[in-house]
Structure 1
Amino acid sequence: MTVEQPCPSPLTRRATLAGGVGATALALGGAPAIAAGPAPAGGHHGGPHGPSAPAVHWERGHLFPTFDRPQGAVRVADMRDLDGFDRLLLVSLQGLVNRVRPEIYLIADDVDATWLPDLGVRTRWEKDPLSLLERFRRRVEGAVVYDMDAPDTINLATTIAARRSLVVATAEQARTHHLRIVEDLRGRFDDEPSAIYAWAVENLWEKSTHRLLVGLPPTQTVEVEGTQWTELLREKDRVTDSSNLDTYTVELADRVGEGEVFVKLSDAFTDDGWGPTVRHATLTIDGEQTADFTPGGDEETPYLFDGGGSATGDGTRFADGGASFIYRFEVPDGASAVSLALRMENEYVVSATSTAPTRIEPFASFRDLAIATNALVTWLPPSGESGSRFEELLEAVEPGTVYAGWFSNDVDGEWSGVELCSRHGVIVVAADYYMNASVLSGIPAPTRARPSKPSRRRPENRTYLTLTFGEGDNIQFCERHLRELWDDPARGSVPMNWTITPLLEDVGPALLHHFQRTASENDLLVCGPSGAGYTYGDSWPKDQLEVFTKASGRYQERTGLDVVYAYSTPEPGKPSPTLPDRVLESYAQHVDLRGIIQTDEKGSISDPGAAVPLIGTFYPAGGVETYLEALTEKIETEGGDGPLFIAGLINAWNWTPADVKTLVESLPGDVEVLLADEFFDLFARSA
């Protein structure tokens, strides 16, 4: 799915926490679920920013640290065949090793292997990835064991691991690899995340880095191979207006396994963003109602087996694109009639299976950077009861601090989380799936670039269109899916803008250099939301906004990204508000920009005479055909009286460069497709 925070008075909670008093000043809710908890982590903490990490350098004017350059060959280990437990073990080892000197590169999936030849470092492959434990045994003091019955202890263990030079392991792994168990979290906490993180803040925050906050899910859902789903119901038409809202009933008796049945809801048309929306569910067994709930509340919780990237809002649960969600229902032996009534709408597919289709494993990615920097790792939802605790943690850091990772509850978590961080001057960087940060940050590469020269053309009475792939604020997108799109042979065939984060200068300079070096004359890198990280500028305190725009200006000057794609604070069910003058003026003062493309969807925002020329995105849902239809309608409705400027946004998850090529080749002849730099040169002259 990304730099700042309010200046505290001497008596604020931030001032108290930063001063080392500890989280007792936060009133985070007292003792943990098991009052004893683990002993406070000791060992060398290297002052206020944690243990000694000679390879990690926090440089002035940068939001992330950089690491030393690798010396000698980097050890490459392929984890693609390992489960989440072994991956977590190795990623924690990677963080410990690389904070002293970057030496380990891990392959989690194919794209990690794709990058290797472009990194410019010598490599040595390990035949057995787990042999790294023996090779680097002297760097490890032992293991911290987490409790899968209280899975948030995985995040607690990650923070403790950094403090005490431990790998994060299960008890079985510790025995197998002859690791001394230094800290054992089993049985010390109930499965109450809020209490676990309250203990973490009270006991671990003081000696954690205050330059970086990390938010990671403790676990992830993994599909079980060989699961056989039976499709029971499908919407065959494209329905995006809820016109098919009704109660639909599916019979499940033949799908029951050993006392349980699993029901999945997924998107019938994954390219248009209008998957199933469920408003109510009722299960009836042999005439007796055994489950009756509205999504999003506590009554749904016993039945929600896997949220699968779905989101909730206004008493509904919905899943678009590749997302889905699964309910699990218990069914007694001998039941003859089992029916599920779903009040739902839009483009649904309902399927069922008799066996558990997924399993839970630890989430491993990005923990190497958390351990190497000695960051506190949490997973506190930004709304609800835990929202205040998350907010108090934000208040404990200075304006311009980065919150890296992500938020729970998908879209709702994103909007509320980014808004909350923005109100406290904290920059968000989507990073939870970013791999190898602790080695990529240490591989140097030139990333300075100069913007193109201004166009001398004057706008004519025609339509000018620029097309931009979104998601580039997301460093894991830049590392993973962007590379896949970039390697599409159709890239470069027509003008395309690619959002990318300038923070790659810190966390992946070789990646940024690759995109800069291999860009064609039809490719333009533009800055992803909303500059030096993902934020909502209109939610920033007025007296702190310049912290973010100044940081954005520094990165812009070094990377040459002179067009920004920016967000305003979303208002559910309403059009995106236009970025206010104070935000545009701050950008104008501190960032050398040609223009800003901001979220809009309808393309109704257009102000070439603003402090920074501003235009809203035109973003019709769907594939090429529906996009072209909506675009043609907009041109026919709004064009003809002077130049018409349209900033089209492309769904980076569902579209490819080949799709964009098809779209451009299907446009009317009087539409000129431009890269965003020339587009804004002409747009500004139309004022």
Structure 2
Amino acid sequence: MLLLCIAVYPRLYAQQVPIRMLDLRWLNQLDLHEEAQAAQLWDILHTTATLQGIVNRDQPSLYIRYVVNERKQNVDDYWWKKYRQKGQWLANRDTLLCSSIVDAVVAFRNSIRGVVVYDPTVASTSNIASSVAGIDDLLAIRYDLSPNSLYTQLVLKGPKLPVRCWLVNPNGTSVFTGQGKVWQTNLASSGSCKIDPYLWFMEHYLKKGKCNTHYAAYYIDQYWLTNPTRTVANHHQLTNHDYFVSKKGFFFDLSPWDDEAATDDPQQTPGLDRSVLQQLLRYAYQQNKGEFCYIGGFPSWAFKYTQHAQGRHPDVATEWEFSRIISAYNAFKDADAIGLGALANASFWQHFPLQKTYPQAWVSRETLKQKGLLNADGTLNIAGKQFLLFYVGDYDSSSWITQTTPYLWDDPNRGSLPLMWCISPVLAERVPMVMHNYRTTATNNDYFAAADNGAGYLLPGMLQEPRPISGLPSGLDAWKAHCLRYYKQWGLSITGFVIDGEAPGLNTAGLDCYAAFSPNGIVPQKVPLTLLHGYMPVLRADYDITDTDPQLAAKTIEERITKRPIPFHWFRAILKSPTWYKEVHEQLQADNPAVTWLDGPTFFELYRIYLEQHPDAANGNINMP
């Protein structure tokens, strides 16, 4: 009878099953300068993430408490409490507390086939273990014979979980040596202990179609253990693994550069990391039949592949090069960058029930007349005015938006003036509860546009033919189809920023693509200062305002406005609070009342009319002096 109930009423059954909670806040108190304590943290979080990915795949079953943001707020508690309130999603769910990771494993024993054991001396095997764990329903466990290790507690003792996959010999010696043939294959070794595990994974999983190549994860491997205090403690990002384990995706940590050896593997042939990265992406492209691959993560620039790690290349250049490569293979990233990069429980929250659509109204020209911005005959009435719009960012990362909500979105001054919140709609995949919260608690002054560069962060110029790096056919139609679905659901018609980086700028085909899903405006980097592409207004991106002091920020804005030949001005700020924007606005009003702060629809509709009535501007013939 129970099995019949589960089969016929799966959603109802899921609501009746208690949620198990594992409190891991104590891990934040460990001294990561101590090798044993850092290893303890790594092992517990890695095994927990793979457990979550398996048991949360079909329903929300296991929740952890761990991530603390820069304000020392527990982010997992914040979201849990919000949706435990009366009438919310989790209000009526019973919960059971697990006393330890071992207790949690025992509780979910029937969902686990066994374990994949990886090599503590070959760093890349930890990411390969996460890939295998999701595909084969196994827990990832680092080989460690010490008495209190998880390997001892879960494999040698306790539940004695069977080892279904060894990425190290049972005696602890390495199977990936960088010599001879790659273990369990007929492939010649790459000469790199780091790379051979990837070749093994491609041979046994990717080539056989076992992996869900619509999802991939770019997170640091256990190389993190070589210097766990180099940046914020939770940049191991192990808690981010659970979602991609649940999707049966693949994990990697590879350098994007072809002119040097990877900084974590200096003896390898220069460019070997990048070559393997391209192989992974090509397999994904082929198996996805050109549909996009969702990559979670970001280059771990503080640890690898940049000048911070004795490499040749700066941080931003590395970010852009990685973006350039993945874009060439129809992939985008959800950019969990260092600082705010930790995210827990995405495999749990992925089941949050979203509304079918979250519509937003556009401004009419009649309304613009009522505001005094248009004359009765539809001509502009803007003489002497300067119009200002901020790209309120950066919200192209599930981890960033989840961590910052308690102190940015909840700022008491939100709603005091118009703000265009630029949020990637693809974040709804991992943190739908955050996206829903923003829309259902927004004021009339909160308007939403897409972040860079639409429904995911890529360099769209790399979708245009000819496509260097990959040589693949155009990806623009696939990008249009991908973005249209998200823009429709979230009521979006503006793309607040298009990062071009070191990729080509948008050509006519690229602009046509964006006009199909972002008809009310885009802000790229490599376009004329002004342009009307069909009906779509195009404004070239301008300054980033980095000043934390509102008075200095206002001064920077005023100085820039005086140099621009048009009355429409776009600025970008990263993780600034509504209070900061309010104070900047007040300073601008005091200094120059001609500066008018607009909401997103009014700005872009007024700018469109300006372009319609100024042919030189519409045709891209206005330049900076």
Answer yes or no: same fold by TM over 0.5.
Answer: yes
Encode CA deviations 1:449-474: one digit per residue, 9 max, x unaligned: 22213232234120111112222221
Matched AA of 1:454: V
Aligned position for 2:187 = none
- Please state if 1:622 is matched with 2:513: no
The 10-residue stretch of structure 1 (663-672 or 73-82) with the greater mean CA deviation from structure 2:
73-82
1:257-406 equivalences under 5 Å are 308=230, 363-384=237-258, 385=271, 386-396=273-283, 397=285, 398-406=289-297
Encode CA deviations 1:182-205: one digit per residue, 9 max, x unaligned: 034342224732222122212221
1:85-124 equivalences under 5 Å are 85-109=43-67, 110-119=74-83, 120-121=89-90, 122-124=93-95
SS of match in other structure, 2:55: helix
Q: Is contact 2:292–2:482 with CA below 8 Å preserved after alignment? A: no
Encode CA deviations 1:364-420: one digit per residue, 9 max, x unaligned: 122212222221211122222111221122112232222412243353332111111
Q: Is contact 2:496–2:523 with CA below 8 Å preserved after alignment? A: yes
Q: Is contact 2:450–2:492 with CA below 8 Å preserved after alignment? A: yes
Q: Is contact 1:76–1:123 with CA below 8 Å preserved after alignment? A: no
Aligned position for 1:437 = 346
1:482-521 equivalences under 5 Å are 482-521=405-444
SS of match in other structure, 2:195: helix
Aligned position for 1:72 = 17
The sequence identity of aligned pairs, in percent, is: 23
Residues in 1 aligned to 2:116 and 2:359: alpha-carbon distance in whole angstroms: 48
Encode CA deviations 1:19-75: one digit per residue, 9 max, x unaligned: xxxxxxxxxxxxxxxxxxxxxxxxxxxxxxxxxxx9xx9xxxxxxxx9x96553322
Classify 1:407/1:198 alpha carbon distance in 2 versus 1 (closer, same or farther; 3 Å). Answer: farther
Question: Paired residue for 2:506, among 546, 566, 579?
Answer: 579
Residues in 2 aligned to 1:525 and 1:420: alpha-carbon distance in whole angstroms: 29
- Please state if 1:685 is matched with 2:616: no
Q: CA deviation at 1:129?
A: 4.1
Q: CA deviation at 1:438?
A: 1.6
SS of match in other structure, 1:377: strand
Classify 1:577/1:197 alpha carbon distance in 2 versus 1 (closer, same or farther; 3 Å). Answer: closer
SS of match in other structure, 1:565: strand
Aligned position for 1:126 = 97
Classify 1:507/1:142 alpha carbon distance in 2 versus 1 (closer, same or farther; 3 Å). Answer: same
Aligned position for 2:161 = 180
Classify 1:647/1:610 alpha carbon distance in 2 versus 1 (closer, same or farther; 3 Å). Answer: farther
Q: List runs of 5+ in structure 2 lacking aligned partners.
A: 1-6, 28-40, 68-73, 84-88, 169-173, 178-191, 259-270, 302-314, 369-373, 375-379, 466-473, 612-625
Matched AA of 1:163: I
Aligned position for 1:196 = 197
Task: Please tell me the root mean square deviation across aligned C-alpha atoms, in Å.
Answer: 2.9
Residues in 2 aligned to 1:541 and 1:583: alpha-carbon distance in whole angstroms: 7
- Please state if 1:560 is matched with 2:491: yes
Classify 1:547/1:126 alpha carbon distance in 2 versus 1 (closer, same or farther; 3 Å). Answer: same
- Please state if 1:219 is matched with 2:225: no
Residues in 2 aligned to 1:388 and 1:220: alpha-carbon distance in whole angstroms: 20
Residues in 2 aligned to 1:306 and 1:502: alpha-carbon distance in whole angstroms: 32
Aligned position for 1:301 = none
Matched AA of 1:406: G
Residues in 1 aligned to 2:223 and 2:413: alpha-carbon distance in whole angstroms: 34
Aligned length: 482
Q: CA deviation at 1:510?
A: 2.5
Residues in 1 aligned to 2:204 and 2:451: alpha-carbon distance in whole angstroms: 36
Structure with bigger helix share is: 2
SS of match in other structure, 1:569: coil
Encode CA deviations 1:562-617: one digit per residue, 9 max, x unaligned: 2112324313xxxx9753332111111x21531112348xx983324565211223
The 10-residue stretch of structure 1 (386-395 or 423-432) with the greater mean CA deviation from structure 2:
423-432
Residues in 1 aligned to 2:423 and 2:291: alpha-carbon distance in whole angstroms: 20
Classify 1:70/1:79 alpha carbon distance in 2 versus 1 (closer, same or farther; 3 Å). Answer: farther
Q: CA deviation at 1:536?
A: 1.3
- Please state if 1:425 is matched with 2:351: no
SS of match in other structure, 2:63: strand
SS of match in other structure, 2:119: coil
Classify 1:491/1:129 alpha carbon distance in 2 versus 1 (closer, same or farther; 3 Å). Answer: farther
Q: Is contact 1:470–1:498 with CA below 8 Å preserved after alignment? A: yes
Classify 1:445/1:544 alpha carbon distance in 2 versus 1 (closer, same or farther; 3 Å). Answer: closer
Q: Is contact 1:88–1:363 with CA below 8 Å preserved after alignment? A: no
- Please state if 1:166 is matched with 2:133: no
Q: Is contact 1:84–1:363 with CA below 8 Å preserved after alignment? A: no
Classify 1:599/1:113 alpha carbon distance in 2 versus 1 (closer, same or farther; 3 Å). Answer: farther
SS of match in other structure, 2:353: coil
Residues in 2 aligned to 1:649 and 1:200: alpha-carbon distance in whole angstroms: 41
Residues in 2 aligned to 1:617 and 1:74: alpha-carbon distance in whole angstroms: 48
Residues in 1 aligned to 2:127 and 2:348: alpha-carbon distance in whole angstroms: 21
Residues in 2 aligned to 1:100 and 1:556: alpha-carbon distance in whole angstroms: 26
Matched AA of 1:393: L
Residues in 2 aligned to 1:169 and 1:361: alpha-carbon distance in whole angstroms: 19
Q: Is contact 1:85–1:362 with CA below 8 Å preserved after alignment? A: no
Matched AA of 2:75: V
Q: CA deviation at 1:663?
A: 0.6
- Please state if 1:635 is matched with 2:578: no
Q: List runs of 5+ in structure 1 lacking aligned partners.
A: 1-53, 58-65, 223-303, 310-322, 324-357
Encode CA deviations 1:494-525: one digit per residue, 9 max, x unaligned: 22121212124433332211100111112112
Residues in 1 aligned to 2:205 and 2:95: alpha-carbon distance in whole angstroms: 36
Q: CA deviation at 1:545?
A: 0.7
Encode CA deviations 1:139-172: one digit per residue, 9 max, x unaligned: 2233222222212111111122223322112342
Question: Paired residue for 2:463, among 540, 551, 554?
Answer: 540
SS of match in other structure, 1:421: helix
Residues in 2 aligned to 1:69 and 1:489: alpha-carbon distance in whole angstroms: 37
Residues in 2 aligned to 1:363 and 1:663: alpha-carbon distance in whole angstroms: 35
Classify 1:632/1:69 alpha carbon distance in 2 versus 1 (closer, same or farther; 3 Å). Answer: farther
Classify 1:123/1:663 alpha carbon distance in 2 versus 1 (closer, same or farther; 3 Å). Answer: farther
Instruction: Return the structure number with greater relative CO, CA threshold 8 A, min gap 6.
Output: 1
Matched AA of 2:220: P
Aligned position for 1:550 = 481
Encode CA deviations 1:601-640: one digit per residue, 9 max, x unaligned: xx9833245652112232243323332222111223336x
Aligned position for 2:390 = 467
